[in-house]
């Protein structure tokens, strides 16, 4: 990667510059809405029609406690329609472009690049490397989704398999670097990655203004801008990038995590005031199995930049995934359903919004981080055991 000492500062202006750099290589992904899901989100959990919004199987039976009725209008940023099917293309193209600027294209092509990823960053770096004719070595857990492995290989990358934990992945990366001299392009823990990932927030901000301006032209009176963004957090590259892009705008940013087997390391880290360095979880949200990186943590631990992190169960993720697919017709992977699950089912978050947004409500951007899964994998999630 480009040397840390030469990286642009982590500011909104740097995200804007990053957007200009990568725009020729990425899609400006659409923003969509769904009135059915808005209605469900604005209804207290205890009052919802089970035929429209089946409750998660592990929801507490004391439904009388789930009384929050926040007023929100949701705007889904469809990074599932980004190149390679996930937001990771943004960070990969920005990081590789910066590396080429610093070291020269011939030097980068001679050494190649290496990374570790469960799938989305793997595919993103493989695509960016192919675009610039750079050799790419990708370390992937052997339990990665087959479609993500195939996608990475389809871009000509050398895929090397490892164990599923970050420690196991990094050990294999070290071996590759010793053998090839390849330059590490980390999946999240670098300013160039963070700045690239933050570019989606700039698009989301402008797209929501455009949608609301259209509403105003039709005589529909609503607030004319975003109030908040909810995005998944794994290694923290995307969430810290969004925090960086939104800092100073008045738009609140929240993180969303699975809580299965300690996958909610960001939430726990904020609670206890210390970054969690190791995570070992097999949550269905496979893109969120990694701990928050050191550099993202410096941003996410700043309450002036991140308003909070909230977590949800596996069943709540599955319920949100079903709603996104059946009601909004959005084909996404489980990791991408986590923010919607927080908005629909995390009562602490819902009470916060009810309290802070008031009767006027909030316009909330929901980042759908990716769609790299298969029909077979989705079917397995919902199959009934008899």
Task: Report pLDDT digits (tens) over 323-375.
Answer: 999 999 999 999 999 999 999 999 999 999 999 998 899 999 999 999 988 89
* pLDDT (0 to 100) of residue 343: 98
Structural domains in the chain, sorted by start: 31-85+194-382 (3.40.50.1100), 87-188 (3.40.50.1100)
For residue 174, the model assigns a pLDDT of 95
On the question of pLDDT at 217 being above 90, the answer is no
Average pLDDT for residues 293-315, to the nearest whole number? 97
300 or 142, which is more confident? 300
Q: What is the pLDDT of residue 347?
A: 97
51 in catalytic set = no
Of the candidates 77, 88, 252, 318, the residue annotated as catalytic is: 88
Higher pLDDT, 169 or 113: 113
Task: Render the burial of 79-91: b for 16+ CB within 10 Å, e for the rest.
Answer: bbbbbbbbbbbbb
Q: pLDDT by residue (tens digit) across 33-81?
A: 999 999 999 999 999 987 777 778 666 556 678 999 999 999 999 999 9
Q: How far apart are CA 124 and CA 357, in angstroms?
A: 37
Catalytic residue among 118, 147, 164, 335, which? 118
182: exposed, middle or buried (Cβ count in 10 Å: 0-12, 13-18, 19+): buried
Identify whether 88 is a catalytic site residue. yes
Model pTM score: 0.93
Give the Cα separation of 330 and 347 in Å (integer): 24
Rounded average pLDDT over 228-234: 98
Taking 3-state DSSP, the helix, strand and coil percentages for the chain, each rounded to the nearest 5, stand at 50, 15, 35
Mean pLDDT calculated for residue range 272-277: 96
- Distance separating alpha carbons of residues 238 and 188, to the nearest angstrom: 8
- Predicted pLDDT of residue 165: 73
pLDDT for position 214:
82
Given a cut of 80, whether residue 215 has pLDDT beyond it is: no
Looking at residue 385, its pLDDT comes to 46
């Amino acid at each position: 990667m480009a040397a840390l000492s030469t990286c642009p500062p982590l500011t909104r202006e740097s995200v804007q510059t990053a957007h200009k750099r990568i725009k020729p290589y990425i899609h400006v992904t659409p923003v969509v809405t769904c009135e059915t899901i808005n209605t469900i989100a604005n209804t207290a959990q205890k009052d919802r029609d089970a035929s429209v919004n089946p409750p998660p199987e592990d929801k507490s039976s004391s439904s009388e406690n789930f009384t929050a009725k926040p007023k929100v209008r949701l705007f889904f940023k469809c990074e599932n329609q980004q190149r390679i099917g996930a937001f990771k293309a943004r960070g990969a193209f920005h990081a590789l472009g910066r590396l080429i600027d610093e070291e020269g294209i011939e030097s980068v092509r001679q050494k190649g690049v290496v990374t570790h990823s469960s799938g989305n960053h793997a595919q993103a770096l493989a695509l960016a490397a192919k675009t610039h004719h750079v050799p790419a070595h990708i370390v992937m857990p052997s339990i990665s989704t087959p479609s993500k492995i195939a996608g990475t290989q389809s871009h000509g990358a050398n895929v090397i398999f490892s164990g599923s934990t970050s420690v196991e992945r990094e050990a294999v990366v070290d071996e590759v670097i010793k053998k090839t001299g390849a330059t590490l392009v980390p999946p999240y823990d670098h300013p160039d990655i963070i700045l690239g990932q933050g570019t989606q927030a700039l698009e989301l901000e402008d797209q929501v203004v455009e949608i609301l301006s259209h509403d105003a032209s039709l005589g529909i009176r609503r607030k004319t801008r975003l109030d908040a963004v909810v995005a998944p957090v794994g290694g923290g590259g995307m969430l810290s990038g969004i925090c960086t892009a939104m800092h100073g705008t008045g738009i609140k940013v929240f993180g969303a995590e699975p809580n299965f087997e300690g996958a909610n390391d960001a939430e726990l880290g904020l609670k206890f005031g210390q970054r969690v360095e190791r995570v070992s979880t097999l949550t269905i949200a496979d893109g969120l199995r990694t701990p928050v990186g050191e550099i993202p943590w410096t941003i996410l631990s700043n309450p002036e930049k991140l308003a909070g992190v909230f977590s949800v169960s596996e069943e709540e993720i599955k319920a949100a995934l079903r709603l996104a697919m059946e009601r909004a017709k959005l084909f996404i992977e489980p990791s991408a359903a986590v923010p919607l699950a927080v908005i629909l089912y995390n009562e602490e978050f819902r009470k916060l919004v009810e309290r802070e947004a008031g009767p006027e409500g909030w316009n909330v951007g929901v980042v759908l981080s990716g769609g790299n899964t298969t029909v077979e994998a989705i079917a397995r999630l919902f199959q009934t055991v008899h």
